Structures are given as C-alpha cells and as structure tokens.
Amino acid sequence: MKKQKKYKLRTKKAVAKRFKITGTGKIMRSHQLRTSHLKRKKSKKTLRRHAMAIPVHKAGLKAIKRMLGIG
C-alpha cells in the first residue's frame, strides 16, 4: 500500500500581519481608522479609541484561524 502524501498548512502572511493572538487565545484585529489616512481632520479621542485592538467576531473566526494555521 502506498502512503498518501500529506500537505503542510501554510500561514497566509497577509493575515498574520493583520491579526494578533493573545495569551488566552483570542484573535485581535485593529480598526480601519488606525491607518494614517487623513488623520488631521479626526479628533484625538477618535484616534485614541481606534488605536486599541478589538476581538474578531465569531462569524469570521473559523476562516481566520484556518488562514493563520491554528485551526
């Protein structure tokens, strides 16, 4: 009997740069507004609020885990 070749699951580098995994296993994402596009017209309060990472919603969690190679 021939042994079937198993393929390795590759990490999507674009996804790895955009999402971070916490110590407890939660996957965090940043806000779209965090980027430096047209920052002058936005209030400091808004920029501060959007600088914090937030957890990924359940709907996309399975797909993101697969792309990160952890699920």
Question: Residue 7: inside a domain, yes or no?
Answer: no
10-to-7, 51, 56 alpha-carbon distances in Å? 9, 29, 21
Whole-structure pTM value: 0.76
Q: What is the pLDDT of residue 38?
A: 84
Domain assignment present for residue 5? The answer is no
DSSP per residue, 26-40: -EEE--GGGSSTT-T
**Would 59 be classed as within a structural domain?**
yes
Beta strand segments in 1-71, E: 19-21, 27-29, 54-55
pLDDT per position as a tens digit, 35-59:
777 888 889 998 899 889 999 999 9
Would 56 be classed as within a structural domain? Answer: yes
Q: Is residue 2 part of a domain?
A: no
Interatomic CA distance for residues 20 and 70, integer angstroms? 12
Of the ranges 29-38, 44-53, 59-68, which one carries the lowest mean pLDDT score? 29-38
In a domain, 20, yes or no: yes
With a cut of 90, say whether residue 7 has pLDDT above it: no
Q: What is the pLDDT of residue 25?
A: 93
Domains in the chain, number: 1
Range of the structural domain that residue 64 is part of: 13-68
18 pLDDT more than 90: yes
- CATH number for the domain spanning 30: value is 4.10.410.60
